[in-house]
Amino acid sequence: MTRRAALVVIMVAAAALATAYTAARRAGSDPSPAAPAVFAQLSYRYLTNLSDGTVGRNYGYNLVDLGPDRAAIDALPTGERALVWIGNYSLSDCAFTMSDADLRQALARLARDPKVAGYYLADEADDARPDYGGHCPDVVAQITQRSRLVHRLVPDAFTYEVVTEPGNFAAFARATDVLGADPYPCLIGHPCDWTMIPRYIAALNAAHVARYWGLLQAFAQPPWRFPTPGELQEMIRQWQRSRWQGEQTFAWSFAGNSLASHPDLLAVLGALNHGS
Q: What's residue 172's pLDDT?
A: 98
Q: What's residue 104's pLDDT?
A: 98
Q: What's residue 1's pLDDT?
A: 56
Q: What's residue 81's pLDDT?
A: 98
Average pLDDT of span 60-64? 98
Q: What is the percent of the chain where pLDDT is above 70? A: 85
User: Which residue range(s) make up the domain with 138?
Assistant: 11-274
Q: What's residue 9's pLDDT?
A: 35
Least confident of 38-42, 70-74, 89-93, 269-273: 38-42
Strands (E), 138-266: 158-163, 178-181, 212-217, 246-250, 253-254, 257-258
Q: What mean pLDDT value characterizes the chain?
A: 89
Q: What's residue 48's pLDDT?
A: 98
The backbone region for 189, taken as left when phi is positive above 0, alpha when psi lies in -120 to 50, beta otherwise, is: left
The answer as to whether 2 is a domain residue is no
Q: Does the pLDDT of residue 88 top 90, yes or no?
A: yes
Average pLDDT of span 93-121? 97
User: pLDDT tens-digit profile of 12-43?
Assistant: 344 444 444 444 443 333 333 333 334 446 99
Average pLDDT of span 146-162? 97
Q: Does the pLDDT of residue 144 top 60, yes or no?
A: yes
Q: What is the pTM (predicted TM-score) of this model? A: 0.86
The answer as to whether 70 is a domain residue is yes
Average pLDDT of span 189-210? 98
Residue 214 belongs to domain with CATH number: 3.20.20.80
Q: What's residue 38's pLDDT?
A: 41
The answer as to whether 58 is a domain residue is yes
User: pLDDT tens-digit profile of 201-255?
Assistant: 999 999 999 999 999 999 999 999 999 999 999 999 999 999 999 999 999 999 9
The answer as to whether 1 is a domain residue is no
Question: Which residues, other chains included, contact 229 with Cβ-Cβ below 8 Å and sequence gap of 6+?
Answer: 32, 34, 35, 264, 265, 267, 268
The answer as to whether 4 is a domain residue is no
Average pLDDT of span 110-137? 97
Q: How many domains does the chain have?
A: 1
Partners of residue 181 on adjacent β-strands: 163, 214
The answer as to whether 6 is a domain residue is no
Which of 153, 215, 142 has its CA nearest to residue 179? 215
Average pLDDT of span 169-196? 98
User: 14 vs 30, 45, 47, 215, 252, CA distance in Å?
Assistant: 18, 18, 13, 21, 10
